[in-house]
Structure 1
Amino acid sequence: MAAAAVLPRGPLSSEEGRGGALPRPSVVGMEPAQEAFPRKSDFDLPEGVTYLNGAFMHPMPRVVRDAVRTYNDRRAGFTTRTSDDPDISGAVKSEFARMINAKPSEIAFVPNTSTGEVLVVHGLGIPESGGNVVTDALHFEGAIVHLQALQRDAGLDLRVVMPKEGRIDLEDLERVVDRDTRLVELSLVTMYNGFQHDLKAVCELAHAHGAYVYADIIQAAGAVPIDVRESGVDFAACSGFKWLMGDLGLGFLYVQEDLIGRVLRRTQTGYHSVSRYATHFLPYDSPGSSPFSWTLGSSASAHYEVGSVAGGARAALSASIPYLRGLDVGRIEAHRQPILQRLRAELPALGFTCVTPEGSTSPIITFTMADGAGVAERLAKAGVDARVADHYVRFSPSVYNDLADVDRVLEALS
């Protein structure tokens, strides 16, 4: 009997490699990590520019730029298999899984962090399933908009904890989490002032009441050590263009393996959902009761991806995550501490008020002031790139910054 026509699909490798290690990506131009910080030689830093805005969009290291160029050259050279290569996809997921101490089978691609958050909320059946959602006012604004829209349009019981002195107190979360809480949503590192939750303590609180925890980790992944096993977090998502040093258009959703499908259901089904697809109507096909037959996969990829991903952004991550793991995220975190400490110590004398809590080690430090326009003008004139709003300025140093960059900030604002 002739065999059915079985069509190849991209995510098979990650499905077959459930719980196992996949090969590291081969990155053109990748060199062993140097010992010394700052890592200025790893980047094409423009002359006269002091970049302290990694929390907005992180520049690509040269090795990442080269990986994207190689991908684009192959695409232009009719090497079309590069666009949907399951080995590259599996390797990228495996690298990210190692970074956060997850399994590759617990990782799915998402186009951005917001998509991950939406998949979690609706995959839990919120608000149809009843119960409340707890979040805080320092959570990502896009997630707040999503939750408040559900509150307005579907009657979601949404409870928002307000910050005190730039932080969210666990005791305030305790007051609003109860047996009816379905989900606690937060940003592990907040975009406004860099406050970092004690994720393990939040998870213990939520789990004690039968609730799940979703963490937006876009301002954390690649910048602070993350261990999903140690923290006990149920779901997490991020994009790749900030501290992962990749590009727009691709990121990751983590779902704890026992919750895949059982608790966090599929809300969409497509090409990447199946582990096998066959036809039964083409010449030499085996007969079947339907023109098509297929089997759903069991991994996070099969549950929460639908179709093709951004190939250029995936190429960037295939180089950036090994680069970061080579540097070691803990060493990256340690490198920036003197920079953050000096900004905290010296900017108040120039009329700025620090709103990042004492003891914070995240990559973000924020100061309030009366005249944002004047600050923006002075920093721009000095070639300093930072996030300036109407009444605050946010600095987010990275691996290429040093104390000389702080000197330029202080000189510009003096």
Structure 2
Amino acid sequence: MDDLETEFRPPEEFGQDDSSDSNSTKETAKSKLRLVEPIFKETPRETGFHKSTRICLQRIREAMLHHRWQEAAEYMSSYPQVLEDTTGGTSQHLTEVIWRMGTEILHHHPNSKMDDYNNIYERMKHSGVKHYLMISLEHSFHLLVNGQIEDAKRQLSIAESWRYGKQSAGQSQRIKLLQAYRSLLDYVIWCDKKFTHCSSDDPDAGDNQEMHSYFRQSAVNLKEILKNPGIWDPFILSYTDMLEFYEDHEEALKVLNDYAYDNTFPPNPNAHVYLYQYLKRHDAPERKLIKVLKILHALVPSHELMLEYCSLLLQSEKEGDIQKALGVTLDMLDYACWKSNLDAWNCLKTIIHKLKLQYKWRRLEDIVSEKMAARKDWWPALHFTSFHASKDSEENPELMEVKASLTTVLCPGQVLNYTAGKTISGEWT
């Protein structure tokens, strides 16, 4: 493998061409390319130490590229010596390089042990203060996926109390993130305690008190982190799960409403999904469920909950809700993920039938025509070709029958190649 300097060299340096057009192209490319600085490049005054570490890095990268993890590990055991060099002024960057490459090698090495991970994480934490907090967070993640929850929490607690110099805004944000993840681990422990408590025929009062203690520790920081605009899905779910267990429904609903409707937060379809699921679990009125799903429809028209939205609209007593259901179902079927879904097409058939009962045929035609106006040029190609007919008749004859029955009302006056074994489109006339 070429060294790093060659890898990051601008394309124009790889060949020579004397033509003016070529030179012009090279100048344009040179002006537009934003080159990455080499990690460790050869210089006219390169010392033997610098040359050795540069070649070592090259060998590590080549071994990793070809998945020779044992060879990469052997070279990696020597490369951290580069941190002892005080002349380069890039120790922070090199710390991150060693951290990233070292953990990647350990992830793939067949004989790696937990002690190996702990050693590299601890060494990297104290080799560069800039990355201390994020390395601590990654360390805790690795402990967590290996089932060492208490150790993972201890790592985060140590990192929370770590300070270096004047606390910057970025450092403050990272500490908040650490606190949030530590609270998430408290929630995980709380879940274990809850399972034990609920499974026991004779729950111990001390266990219940301990479980509540973990709830309080977790809730404080989770509530605090949710004051910062962002996407906090796992933290929201954890916090509301605990609140729901202790039947603090007012607070849980407030948290979910704030997460969904606070304009300082980025648009997040999941926020509306969580609110809807909570309301549904607690038998909220249909109008509240419809309100939540209406916003979700605006964000993600193809969401799987749109079938439930249509069902609620069809149960509504409002006159215009059936027409809304028609629009929602057509929006779903605009997406390829729904095109072969029998439930979606049956829903559309039910809506058309209800509209036919509610209005005269001419009015029904006008309503459907209005909804299909922007679709008439491309819907036949999406749903009603001879290919679709052949595929549906073979894989799902019931789907073909439903779709064929809707062709006349959806695409009146159009010649379609989608035909079923028997024509039932006349049932709408």
Give the TM-score of the pair, scaled to structure 2. Answer: 0.17
- Which is richer in strand? 1
Which has the larger Rg? Answer: 2
- Per the normalisation by structure 1, the TM-score is 0.18
Greater fraction helix: 2
